[in-house]
A and B are shown apart, each in its own frame.
Chain A
Amino acid sequence: MSNSLQKKLFVWISIAILAISLMASCVSFWLAFKQAQDFQDDALRQIALLVDTYKTPLDEERILESMKSDPKRIVVQPVIASPSSFPPLLKLPAKLASGFHSVEIDGLQWRVYIYATVSGNKIAVSQETKVRNIMARDSALLTLLPLLVLIPVLILVLRKIVQVEMSSLRTLAEIIDTQEQERLSVLPTGEVPSEVAPFINAINRLLERINRMNESQRRFIADAAHELRSPLTALSLQAQNLERTGSFAISKERFVPLKNGLERSRHLLNQLLDLVRQQASAVQPRPVDLAKVALAVIEEIMPIADAKKIDLGFSKEAPVQIDADASAIQLMLRNAVDNALRYTPEGGEVTVRVCCENDDAVLEVIDNGPGIPEAELERVFDAFYRLPNNTQVGSGLGLAIARSIADQFKGSVSLRNRTSGTGLIFSYRQRLSQTDVKGE
């Protein structure tokens, strides 16, 4: 059978109706048949009573004649002890008691009623069983007639009802089919049956999620296009500026911004690739020693700190191990330290701190730069978002990468301003690894 709910409903209900009406027909046929037989018995009895009451002479000749003309008729005859004086029309067995009997006479079944008259004689009222049965059956069959006519009507009505009720589902399907891919609109819940409503609501929630995802993806692509254009614009201008110069000295001078432009493009592309890679990757978490990662990042980034005369330090308060991916955590920390160095003025101080709080591992980068306005602390995690008046060259992707990594390992990243003095604290938290860390 096909998987159509409408067809299934229709077929199964039809089968049920047919089965039940078949049973009902059998019962009602049997009851009607029995009742008809009761009426026939009663008729035999009434006849006996009438014969007795009016003392109808039972003329043998006439009885014989009428029996020949109508074999179905009811035969009334006296029951006489000696058959010789009044030869019986039907050869009834002797010694039948008063009441109803079914007897076989000359190979035929007969229904016989024996009645004792007031005068002490007995009368037998008989009818052939086969005739009786045919009549009873015919009348019982008549009682089935309304049922047989109504069943097809009922099935047709049922079919219509199911179709009408299912049409609201078909309408929904049509709405889904004709959705624009750009913006999926929510399905109407007003017309649908209450049983289907939870399903529609779930679909609507899904549509909402898809819409949000589409929207953020569209924004990301638009932002990425914009961000990719800027360094490209600078590069093309720089290259043309270089091309125009006649003198070698000016060429050399103009080569510097071109190289910076290339570096900026390279950095942006790397960051974009990092972000996409992080969002797409699904690595198996392994134990990561945060102190080791921190030291690796500090080593790597020390030359930049030195160049800016920033005191880059490390503080480890406990051995801390989490389940993550070392290279991803390193990438996140490098972005955080890179930001701290970028925004901390010359001669400032940046500290990478590793510690435990309750069951959480905490990795922090603390600087003494200008901090970020409270209202912007959350927004700076958006891809490409940059603070107004930010003059530093950057892709605006570092924190988005950090958040993407945090999401991957069910950790959390946040920024907060220092309460004592100015400065910003980048903080990553994740549940401590369940495997024991060896103390040093």
Chain B
Amino acid sequence: MRILLVEDDRMIGDALCEALRDAAYAVDWVQDGETALRVLGNSEHQAVLLDLGLPGRDGIEVLKKLRANDGTIPVIIITARDGLEDRVKGLDLGADDYITKPFDIDELLARLRATLRRQGGQASPLLSNGIISLNPATREAFKGDSTCLLSAREFSLLQALLLRPGAILNRKQLEESIYGWNEEVESNAVDFLIHGIRKKLGADAIKNVRGAGWMVDRNT
């Protein structure tokens, strides 16, 4: 799951990136609105954390422009402006959620999960294809009666597959969902992670399509 963070304060940006990575998200961080819009044009990300007080184009403008271009990516506003007016305005302009600084990272992560879940048209907190279920809050995977805890990257990879059951994701797509821009991609990381997941959930948990990539079964 890849997140775009738009935040001009370096210290907050650094800390937030670290926290998001700890929570198994791939994070890319930009510091101004102009760059944010350019990056969002590539649709590499699954969600945006948007600060409002940005140099140049402020967050509200970014949001307006994004929605004007039919961007449907979930947006959570993170800001120190706590006026009711600001919140209403942000939500009315198409933000999916709003959180004021200072906030607890657990709350932000919960809101992020909820937003992503709604985006997928799901009400249940579990991500599932009917065979395997994944709890994004705890990183636990369930199959039949067995439960196991996944590592951060194993979770990211399985989550990417479970978000679109039946779809084949190639190596590059999987890598993108695990790593941010500045992170060095380890070779064979995908093979290594899939091996780990199969060991925990059984060999048939993830299917390999030779020459194309990997998939999980569609819910039948």
Q: Which residues of A contact B96 (CB under 8 A)?
A: none
Segment 1-56 of B: residues with Cβ below 8 Å from A: 9-12, 14-16, 18-19, 22, 31-32, 53, 55-56
Q: Which residues of A contact B56 (CB under 8 A)?
A: 388-389
**Stretch in B63-71, B100-108, B201-209 with 4+ CB within 8 Å of A:** B100-108
- Interface 1/0s, chain A 327-365, versus B by CB < 8 A? 000000000000000000000000000000000000000
Segment 380-403 of A: residues with Cβ below 8 Å from B: 388-391, 393
| B11 and A388 form a contact (CB under 8 A) | no
Q: Which residues of B contact A231 (CB under 8 A)?
A: 11
B198 at the A interface (CB under 8 A): no
Per the bound structure, the CA–CA distance linking A229 and B53 in Å amounts to 13
- Tally chain A residues at the interface, Cβ within 8 Å: 25
A240 at the B interface (CB under 8 A): yes
Q: Which residues of A contact B15 (CB under 8 A)?
A: 234, 237-238, 241, 257, 261
Nearest-Cβ distance from residue B137 to partner chain A, whole angstroms: 15
| B104 and A388 form a contact (CB under 8 A) | no
Chain B minimum-CB-distance residue to A261: B11
Q: Which residues of B contact A238 (CB under 8 A)?
A: 11, 15
Q: Which residues of A contact B10 (CB under 8 A)?
A: 391, 393
| A226 and B55 form a contact (CB under 8 A) | no
Nearest-Cβ distance from residue A240 to partner chain B, whole angstroms: 5
| B81 and A237 form a contact (CB under 8 A) | no
A254 at the B interface (CB under 8 A): yes
Task: Pick the contact of B12: A234, A240, A388, A391 (CB < 8 A).
Answer: A234
Nearest-Cβ distance from residue B181 to partner chain A, whole angstroms: 19
Per the bound structure, the CA–CA distance linking A74 and B82 in Å amounts to 108
Per the bound structure, the CA–CA distance linking A225 and B101 in Å amounts to 10
| B104 and A226 form a contact (CB under 8 A) | no
Segment 402-416 of A: residues with Cβ below 8 Å from B: none
CB-CB under 8 A for A388 and B55, given A241-B18, A261-B11: yes
| B11 and A257 form a contact (CB under 8 A) | yes
A270 at the B interface (CB under 8 A): no
| B19 and A233 form a contact (CB under 8 A) | no
| A237 and B105 form a contact (CB under 8 A) | yes
Nearest-Cβ distance from residue A218 to partner chain B, whole angstroms: 12
Interface centre among A229, A233, A260, A390 (most CB of B within 10 A): A233
Q: Which residues of B contact A232 (CB under 8 A)?
A: 101-102
Task: Pick the contact of A229: B18, B55, B80, B106 (CB < 8 A).
Answer: B80
| A240 and B101 form a contact (CB under 8 A) | no
Task: Pick the contact of B9: A234, A241, A254, A388 (CB < 8 A).
Answer: A234
| A229 and B101 form a contact (CB under 8 A) | yes
| A236 and B11 form a contact (CB under 8 A) | no
Segment 78-109 of B: residues with Cβ below 8 Å from A: 80-81, 100-106
A189 at the B interface (CB under 8 A): no
Q: Which residues of A contact B14 (CB under 8 A)?
A: 234, 257
| B9 and A230 form a contact (CB under 8 A) | yes
CB-CB under 8 A for A230 and B18, given A236-B104, A237-B105, A389-B56: no
Per the bound structure, the CA–CA distance linking A393 and B9 in Å amounts to 9
A244 at the B interface (CB under 8 A): yes
Task: Pick the contact of B81: A226, A234, A241 (CB < 8 A).
Answer: A226
Q: Which residues of B contact A390 (CB under 8 A)?
A: 55
Q: Which residues of A contact B18 (CB under 8 A)?
A: 237, 241, 254
Chain A minimum-CB-distance residue to B78: A233
CB-CB under 8 A for A237 and B53, given A226-B81, A230-B101, A232-B102: no
| A233 and B12 form a contact (CB under 8 A) | yes
A264 at the B interface (CB under 8 A): yes
| B81 and A244 form a contact (CB under 8 A) | no
Q: Which residues of B contact A234 (CB under 8 A)?
A: 9, 11-12, 14-15
Task: Pick the contact of B80: A233, A235, A393 (CB < 8 A).
Answer: A233
Q: Which residues of A contact B80 (CB under 8 A)?
A: 225-226, 229-230, 233
| A237 and B19 form a contact (CB under 8 A) | yes
Q: Which residues of A contact B9 (CB under 8 A)?
A: 230, 233-234
Chain B minimum-CB-distance residue to A392: B10
Nearest-Cβ distance from residue B183 to partner chain A, whole angstroms: 16
Nearest-Cβ distance from residue B214 to partner chain A, whole angstroms: 30
Q: Which residues of A contact B53 (CB under 8 A)?
A: 226
Q: Which residues of A contact B19 (CB under 8 A)?
A: 237, 240-241, 244
Q: Which residues of A contact B106 (CB under 8 A)?
A: 240
Nearest-Cβ distance from residue A234 to partner chain B, whole angstroms: 4
Per the bound structure, the CA–CA distance linking A253 and B103 in Å amounts to 23
Nearest-Cβ distance from residue B82 to partner chain A, whole angstroms: 8
Q: Which residues of A contact B22 (CB under 8 A)?
A: 241, 244
Per the bound structure, the CA–CA distance linking A206 and B68 in Å amounts to 46
Segment 117-139 of B: residues with Cβ below 8 Å from A: none
Segment 230-283 of A: residues with Cβ below 8 Å from B: 230-238, 240-241, 244, 254, 257, 260-261, 264
Per the bound structure, the CA–CA distance linking A190 and B32 in Å amounts to 51
Chain B minimum-CB-distance residue to A388: B55
Q: Which residues of A contact B101 (CB under 8 A)?
A: 229-230, 232-233
- Interface 1/0s, chain A 267-307, versus B by CB < 8 A? 00000000000000000000000000000000000000000
| B104 and A240 form a contact (CB under 8 A) | yes
CB-CB under 8 A for A236 and B81, given A241-B18, A261-B11, A393-B10: no
Q: Considering the complex of A and B, which 8 residue pairs feature the smallest CB-CB distances, nearest first?
A: A237-B15, A388-B55, A234-B11, A233-B101, A233-B102, A229-B80, A232-B102, A226-B80
Since A226-B81, A232-B102 are in contact, a sample of 16 more A-B pairs with Cβ atoms closer than 8 Å, ordered by chain A residue number, is: A225-B80, A229-B80, A229-B101, A230-B12, A232-B101, A233-B12, A233-B102, A234-B9, A234-B12, A234-B14, A235-B102, A236-B104, A237-B15, A241-B105, A261-B11, A389-B55
CB pairs A–B below 8 angstroms (24 shown): A229-B101, A229-B102, A230-B80, A231-B11, A233-B101, A233-B103, A234-B9, A234-B12, A234-B15, A236-B102, A236-B105, A237-B19, A238-B15, A240-B19, A240-B105, A241-B19, A241-B105, A257-B11, A257-B14, A264-B11, A389-B55, A389-B56, A391-B31, A393-B10
Interface residues of B (CB under 8 A from A): 9-12, 14-16, 18-19, 22, 31-32, 53, 55-56, 80-81, 100-106
